[in-house]
Structure 1
């Protein structure tokens, strides 16, 4: 099932929940249901449905001294466009230090300038 098909099957509150996870970049489940103004039980059911459809992912965590889950957008929802210049990924990704006089950095900047 494609992402579009999975999203088409969502109720209004489930769509709102998915947008909340995407917009925040990740939210603790204990805050998730409060933000949606639903009970913790309904919030858990909504999170489960989004998980089943692989629209979000969940990691165990401790928040305010309690065990909970961090609800995160799936990787396909992340926007990497700000790291790109044309078809080149920023040279700052994965390197401790980048030499601003390097050829790779210069080429990346030139590609960035040509996009505008």
Structure 2
């Protein structure tokens, strides 16, 4: 792994951990111990790869960018109560089977509960 790849990976990890609040680009380059120019280049590369989004922000009288992750890490919380996990019919359930998720009342009820 090149130094540049390592810096991008470290930067992306920090941005991912910042979540919905994001992180100022100026704070990021300080955390990964690079110059503002290199920090800006790393941010631009991550944005061009579709991994982050950059939004301009005025901070302490200077323009910078707030960096946000475009994707969130997968979480088991989203499927913990899914009825499919403990369903007795799961071995015969599938897209082209007799039983399908489209026709399952338990699955439909669970999805509707999760949305509300």
Q: Is TM-score (shorter-chain normalized) higher than 0.5?
A: yes
- Residue 58 of structure 1 contacts residue 69 of structure 1 at CA under 8 Å; is this kept in 2? yes
Tell whether 2:25 aligns with 1:11.
no
Q: Secondary structure at the match of 1:11?
A: helix
**Could you say if the C-alpha distance between residues 81 and 34 of structure 1 is closer, same or farther in structure 2, counting changes exceeding 3 Å?**
same
Which 4+ stretches in 1 moved above 3 angstroms?
78-85
The offset of 1:64, in angstroms, is: 2.2
1:38 aligned residue: 34
Higher helix fraction (1 or 2): 2
Any stretches of 5+ residues in structure 1 without a counterpart? Answer: 1-9, 92-116
Larger radius of gyration: 2
* 2:14 aligned partner: 20
User: Which of residues 52, 57, 64 in structure 1 aligns to 2:60?
Assistant: 64
* Cα RMSD for the two superposed structures: 2.1
On the 8 A contact 1:83/1:90 being kept in 2, the answer is no
Instruction: Count residues with an aligned counterpart.
Output: 81
Aligned-pair distance for 1:79? Answer: 4.8
